[in-house]
Amino acid sequence: MERAKLKNIILTILVITNVLLLGLTLFQQAQSRRYRQQTLQDAVELLAQRGIAAQAEDMPDRDFPPPQLLEEDAQEELARFAALLGQDAVRAQRGLVSLYTGSQGSAEVRENGAFSVELAPGAYPLSDGQDLAQHAAAVLERLGFHARITAVEDSAVTAVETLGGVPVFSCTALLLYDQGELRAISGVRLTGTPAPDPQAEECLSTATLLVRFRAGIITSGDACAAIRSATQGYILAADANRTLRLTPVLRLETDTNLYLLNAITGEFQRA
């Protein structure tokens, strides 16, 4: 009996401890949210002093996606282009360019992810009344290109690639249609398998990047009166060792230009 009472007391203590820890965690999270919201508001007010209008609630206050590397995977790439060009597709190498040829077309792919595809007549026709954007997204999916369609015209579709739902602003595709069928695709795509960057530094906050943006506007002599949208994403670039890296950025659309701010270094540049 005494042992049962002791057990109940211990369980009660553990439950109370867990409740207190949960309460402390929730309190800390609430404090962190308030701090981030306040720093965003302070940054927005600092922009306003420069004559740049922005709304704090329109600024992303979540953590940036982590920096990543792209590890080369020749078999995965062959499988992707075989899915697009036909399972009979073969690969050849010409310097830094990979050439893929299959029954449904051919493709050239460079180490930096740039690619161009010429499709055989009848390879990818549109069905009667088929939506152009849906057709384009389905074709790109064969390449492992998870598309967010950005523009649709009578004979062309433009898309940006996403990774885990996060846009990769430097990876875009243009799909050209003629007489009711897809004839060509060109652009830049992610190549290889994403993996965490072991040398990655901690990202700056959105508030800090807005302050860097203000400084960049002053230094560059550019002029803008409002930030219309702010989006977190990636850019793809090769370093000095030709390693492909995905770097988190903040993309700002203003009333005059598009800007990218490196979320690690704070570097400011026009998109």
What CATH number should be reported for the domain holding residue 62? 2.40.128.690
Q: How far does Cα 11 stand from its chain's mean position?
A: 46
Asked which of 191, 214, 248 is the last residue of a domain, the reply is 191
DSSP run (H or E) holding 185: strand 181-188
DSSP run (H or E) holding 83: helix 74-85
Contacts of 23 (CB under 8 A, 6+ apart): none
pLDDT of residue 154: 87
Asked which of 191, 213, 234 is the last residue of a domain, the reply is 191
Contacts of 245 (CB under 8 A, 6+ apart): 67, 68, 69, 70, 197, 236, 237, 238, 239
139 & 89 share domain? yes
Q: What are the CA-CA distances from residue 188 to residues 141, 195, 265 (Å)?
A: 14, 19, 24
Please count the structural domains in the chain.
2
- Counting Cβ atoms within 10 Å, is residue 227 exposed (0-12), middle (13-18) or buried (19+)? buried
pLDDT of residue 32: 59
174 & 112 share domain? yes
Q: Is residue 166 part of a domain?
A: yes
Residue 88: name the closest of 74, 76, 101 by CA.
101
Q: Give the integer Cα–Cα distance in Å for 116 and 262.
A: 28
Q: Is residue 215 part of a domain?
A: yes
pLDDT of residue 29: 57
Q: Is residue 13 part of a domain?
A: no
78 & 185 share domain? yes
Q: Is residue 20 part of a domain?
A: no
Contacts of 265 (CB under 8 A, 6+ apart): none
Residue with tokens 């030709």: 242
Q: Give the integer Cα–Cα distance in Å for 176 and 159.
A: 12
pTM of the model: 0.84
Q: What are the CA-CA distances from residue 138 to residues 75, 165, 173, 188, 201 (Å)?
A: 22, 16, 13, 17, 36
Asked which of 191, 216, 250 is the last residue of a domain, the reply is 191
Q: 68 with 245: CB under 8 angstroms? A: yes
pLDDT of residue 15: 75
Domain of 84?
73-191
pLDDT of residue 240: 67
Q: Give the integer Cα–Cα distance in Å for 47 and 64.
A: 21
Q: Is residue 32 part of a domain?
A: no
Contacts of 102 (CB under 8 A, 6+ apart): 81, 82, 84, 85, 86, 87, 88, 89, 90
Tens of pLDDT along the chain (271 residues) come to 567 777 777 777 777 777 767 666 665 555 556 657 788 999 999 999 999 999 999 999 889 999 999 988 889 999 999 999 999 999 999 988 999 999 999 999 998 899 999 999 999 999 888 899 999 999 999 999 999 999 999 899 999 999 999 999 999 999 999 999 999 999 999 988 899 898 888 999 999 999 999 999 999 999 999 999 999 999 998 876 778 899 999 999 999 999 999 999 999 999 8
